[in-house]
Each structure stands twice: as structure tokens, then as C-alpha cells.
């Protein structure tokens, strides 16, 4: 039996209907791959250590069989190919069974490159911060312009309500992560994507669990630059010294820069913009192309917007149309997402897990709410955070908050000295944390929960406590 899938007059000639099994299927990236494989006509199954909503229900709705826990018996019906997520390593029972049975296996990034991105105009968004938001902005601009792009994003754009789709045109937007590809491929995932349009948003040290130092990350970013064709475009932040170093290693493509430092005749730029006003003018080589009015805050989001506008322009979308699209942009789930307003207290859910992201996010909120009280509830949960790499800059990054409550979970391998930070309190108990937040919250407060994980459901627990509080 053969299958044939068509988009925009182009055909992907597969090798028939395959049985595809995905290890780590409930992650955003791998879940998106699962949906694409299903839409390409394949039979898709998958396993994960924790199978739970919302990803589990989304996948089941697609007719994808899910298996809880990694077990050798999950492979009793032998798949034609196994896609292995980068969170899995040797010693995992199911990984070992794949190897022992001699089953064909690949990484998610490589499968995507070979079966979805091949022969398409790939627009990749890379950088330490803002990848998800910028990818979402870019995708929405292309969608607004009627281009119906495919995309795979590590979050859910509120304008689109899904994190991935094949699309109906030649354009495909990919969030280009520098994390390693798989246990058998230690290159960064983004070297597989071969973009024609490549955004380099910013570059700092992160992922200390896989990179020894900043130079190691720069090397991977240079590998990405090497894959962009001569008729392609690299979009870079003006003034980012680390990106400058990467491009000095060699660049064979056109370069356009963006700047948030005021109108500039040589780059994509903005007029005088404040962190919290939600309004900014956009200039292309010194010429005004429009004004964005939106609900987002922060200079970092303005920089993200300029990158998205520049990338969309390379794909043929007039900058004035991109500005119109961003006026209707609703942001991304878990990016300063308002979860609830209870008795005048606003609760936000945010994914920030690096001191720079924390600082810029809070600066944006401060610019928007003025003197109203900001309370941060932070879980240093990323692998880099847990190793203590950022402990010297973590506490200063909270300076815009009036009070900060930091949850030190049992996996943290460092201690924080808060003697010089009287507005910061440490907690080792979720119950005590919930009690403290619920008792101190007042009408007019803005409470920001920051974690790149579920944070033990603390958001929901606080919301319920506030609703029942006298």
C-alpha cells in the first residue's frame, strides 16, 4: 500500500504507510511530530514516562495510541521506525530494546528535516531567549497574510491554538533549539533544519548540562550559520556581541539587523519605545511602515517583533501587513499569560527560566502596572538553574518585584544567600508556599508564577484558595 500527501502542488512520496513509534511523545516538539506523521498518513504510536493532559488528549483525538512508561513490551508490534526524543538516553528500557531488536531509529529533528522540511522554505528562529514568542509572531504574520504556513513551535500561539501543523504552502516556521539532538547525535537540533530565513535573536550561556561554556554554544550557532544558503537571509540583533562573534567566524548569506535603540537608517528599528506602553512605531531603513498596538509588554517583545517582521518580509510579506498582523497578536500560552483575576488579584503564568528573561519580563510588567505591587513566585527548575550556574545573577534579576518567593525544590544543587535581598524569601515546601501567597495577596497585586515546568500545580491551588478566602 502506498501513500501520497500533497501541499501547494508539491508531493511527498513516502515509502508507504509506516508504523511510526515515538519515544517521548508527550513533549511539545515530539507531540507536534506525532501529529504531522499522522497527517502524512502513517500509523503513529508513542510512549512517555508521564502520559497526561493536555498533550495526551490532543494526541488521542488524532487517533494516536499512547503507552504510559517506557517498557520493552511497547515494541512487541515492531514499528518500521522509532523516533527517539533527546530526553532519552542509554539505560532506558525501551531505548535498549530498540537497539537489541535492531530496529531502525532516528531523532525527531532528523525525521522532521527528511519528511517535512525537505524542499520547503524554512524560516528558523534561534536564540537563547524569545524563540517561542518570535516563532509564534512570525507564524501569525504569515497566516494573517494568507500564506497558510506549516509550523512547529515549542508552545501554543493563542491566535492558532495548536503548536504544530503541516500547512498548505511552501513556508514552514520552526523554533530552532540549540539543545542536543539525541543520545546518538550530540549536534544541536537546529543544524538539521537548513533554513532559508534564519533569525538569530540573541545569545547567552545556557544549557550548562550539555555545553561546557559559551564558546561551545557559539560553535553550534556557527554550524547553523553555515547551513544558510547564499540567497538566504540571517536576521541578527544589533549590538549582541556574542552573535557578532558567531558571524565573524564566517557568513555566506545576506544579513539584516534589528535594533530597539531608536530609529536607524540601516536596520529594522523602532521609534522611542517604552517597556510597558504596548505601542511602538516600526521603521524599515529609516522609513516608517506602521505602528503596533498590542497587549504585550517589554522591550524584549519589541525586539522579537522586529525579528518576526524582518523574517516575514524576506518571505514576501510587506512590513505594513506584518504590523497589522501584530496588532492582532494574542501572545503565547505561558508567556505572561493571565491565568485568572480573583478579587482584584491578577495571576500570571510565565515560562521565564533564565535571569535575563526574568529581568526583562518583569521590567515590561513594571512599565505596564506602574506602582502596583508585583509578587514573583519562582521555581529555578531548568537543568542550568538547578546546577547553580546562574545563582549570582538570579536574585538581582528579581529587582523589579516588590516581593519574591523562591521555591527551592529537592533537585536544586545550590544554595541562595538572600541576606542582602530582604524582599526575597525561600521555601522548600509547596504547602507553605501556597499558604504564604494566599495570606499576603491583596487587591491590585500582580502575582507572577515563573517556572518551565508544572510547578506542582501551585497556580491552581493559589487561585482556589483566593476564591474561597474570606
Copy the grid coordinates of residue 44.
503513529
d(CA 461, CA 115): 43
d(CA 97, CA 151): 32
Q: What superfamily would CATH give domain 4-107?
A: NAD(P)-binding Rossmann-like Domain (3.40.50.720)
- What is the CB neighbour count within 10 angstroms for residue 417? 9
**Residue 384 confidence (pLDDT):** 66
- Dihedral sign (CA 109, 114, 119, 120): negative
- What is the CB neighbour count within 10 angstroms for residue 63? 9
From the number of C-beta atoms within 10 Å of its C-beta (0-12, 13-18, 19+), residue 408 rates as middle
Strand ranges (E), 191-232: 197-200
Q: Mean pLDDT for each consecutive 10-residue tract of the chain (470 residues)? A: 33 66 92 93 93 78 92 95 95 97 96 95 94 95 98 89 91 94 94 97 80 90 97 94 95 94 83 72 93 88 95 98 96 83 91 81 88 92 67 84 87 74 88 91 92 83 85
Topology at the third CATH level for domain 120-326: 3.40.1190
**Residue 389 confidence (pLDDT):** 66
Q: Which of 399, 418, 400 is nearest to 408 (CA)?
A: 418
**Residue 445 confidence (pLDDT):** 92
> Which DSSP helix (H) or strand (E) runs through 257?
strand 254-259
Is the Cβ–Cβ distance between 329 and 294 less than 8 Å?
Answer: yes
| Cα of 161 vs its chain's centroid, Å | 15
**Residue 11 confidence (pLDDT):** 32
d(CA 350, CA 358): 9
Could you tell me where in the chain the CATH 3.90.190.20 domains are found? 337-468
Question: What's the first-to-final CA gap in the chain, in angstroms?
Answer: 65
d(CA 64, CA 134): 29
Could you tell me where in the chain the CATH 3.40.50.720 domains are found? 4-107
Q: Which of 330, 376, 329 is nearest to 353 (CA)?
A: 376
Q: pTM value?
A: 0.84
Bond into 335 cis (ω within 30): no
| Cα of 391 vs its chain's centroid, Å | 23
Domain 337-468, CATH among 3.20.20.10, 2.60.40.420, 3.90.190.20, 3.40.50.150: 3.90.190.20
**Residue 6 confidence (pLDDT):** 34
Amino acid at each position: 500500500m502506498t501513500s501520497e500527501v500533497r501541499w501547494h502542488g508539491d508531493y511527498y512520496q513516502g515509502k508507504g504507510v509506516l508504523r511510526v513509534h515515538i519515544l517521548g511523545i508527550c513533549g511539545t516538539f515530539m507531540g507536534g511530530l506525532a501529529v504531522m506523521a499522522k497527517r502524512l498518513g502513517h500509523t503513529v504510536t508513542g510512549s512517555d514516562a508521564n502520559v497526561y493532559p493536555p498533550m495526551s488528549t490532543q494526541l488521542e483525538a488524532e487517533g494516536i495510541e499512547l503507552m504510559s512508561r517506557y517498557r520493552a513490551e511497547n515494541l512487541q508490534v515492531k514499528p518500521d521506525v522509532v523516533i527517539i526524543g533527546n530526553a532519552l538516553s542509554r539505560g532506558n528500557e525501551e531505548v535498549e530494546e530498540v537497539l537489541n531488536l535492531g530496529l531502525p531509529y532516528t531523532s525527531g529533528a532528523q525525521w522532521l528535516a527528511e519528511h517535512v522540511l525537505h524542499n520547503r522554505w524554512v524560516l528558523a528562529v534561534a536564540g537563547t531567549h524569545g524563540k517561542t514568542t518570535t516563532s509564534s509572531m512570525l507564524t501569525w504574520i504569515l497566516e494573517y497574510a494568507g500564506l497558510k504556513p506549516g509550523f512547529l513551535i515549542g508552545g501554543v500561539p493563542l491566535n492558532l491554538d495548536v503548536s504544530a501543523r503541516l500547512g498548505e504552502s511552501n513556508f514552514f516556521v520552526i523554533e530552532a533549539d540549540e539543545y542536543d539532538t539525541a543520545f546518538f547525535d550530540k549536534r544541536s537540533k537546529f543544524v538539521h533544519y537548513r533554513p532559508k530565513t534564519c533569525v538569530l535573536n540573541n545569545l547567552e550561556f545556557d544549557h550548562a548540562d550539555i555545553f561546557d561554556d559559551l564558546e561551545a554554544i557559539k560553535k553550534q550557532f556557527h554550524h547553523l550559520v553555515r547551513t544558510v544558503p547564499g540567497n538566504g537571509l540571517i536576521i541578527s540583533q544589533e549590538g549582541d556581541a556574542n552573535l557578532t562573534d558567531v558571524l565573524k567566524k564566517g557568513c555566506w548569506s545576506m544579513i539584516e539587523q534589528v535594533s530597539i535603540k531608536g530609529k536607524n537608517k540601516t536596520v529594522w528599528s523602532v521609534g522611542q519605545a517604552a517597556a510597558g506602553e504596548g505601542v511602538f512605531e516600526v521603521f524599515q531603513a529609516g522609513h516608517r511602515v506602521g505602528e503596533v498596538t498590542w497587549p504585550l509588554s517589554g522591550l524584549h517583545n519589541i525586539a522579537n517583533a522586529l525579528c518576526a517582521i524582518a523574517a516575514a518580509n524576506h518571505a514576501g510579506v510587506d512590513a505594513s501587513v506584518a504590523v497589522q498582523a501584530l496588532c492582532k497578536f494574542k501572545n503565547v500560552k505561558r508567556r505572561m499569560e493571565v491565568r485568572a483575576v480573583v478579587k482584584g488579584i491578577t495571576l500570571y503564568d510565565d515560562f521565564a527560566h533564565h535571569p535575563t528573561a526574568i529581568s526583562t519580563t518583569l521590567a515590561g510588567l513594571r512599565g505596564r502596572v506602574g506602582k502596583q505591587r508585583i509578587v514573583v513566585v519562582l521555581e529555578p527548575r531548568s537543568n542550568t538553574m538547578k546546577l547553580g550556574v546562574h545563582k549570582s545573577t538570579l536574585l538581582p534579576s528579581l529587582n523589579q518585584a516588590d516581593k519574591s518567593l523562591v521555591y527551592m525544590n529537592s533537585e536544586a544543587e545550590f544554595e541562595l544567600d538572600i541576606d542582602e535581598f530582604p524582599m526575597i524569601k525561600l521555601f522548600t515546601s509547596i504547602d507553605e508556599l501556597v499558604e504564604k501567597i494566599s495570606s499576603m495577596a491583596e487587591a491590585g497585586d500582580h502575582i507572577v508564577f515563573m517556572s518551565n515546568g508544572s510547578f506542582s500545580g501551585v497556580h491552581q491551588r493559589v487561585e482556589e484558595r483566593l476564591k474561597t478566602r474570606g
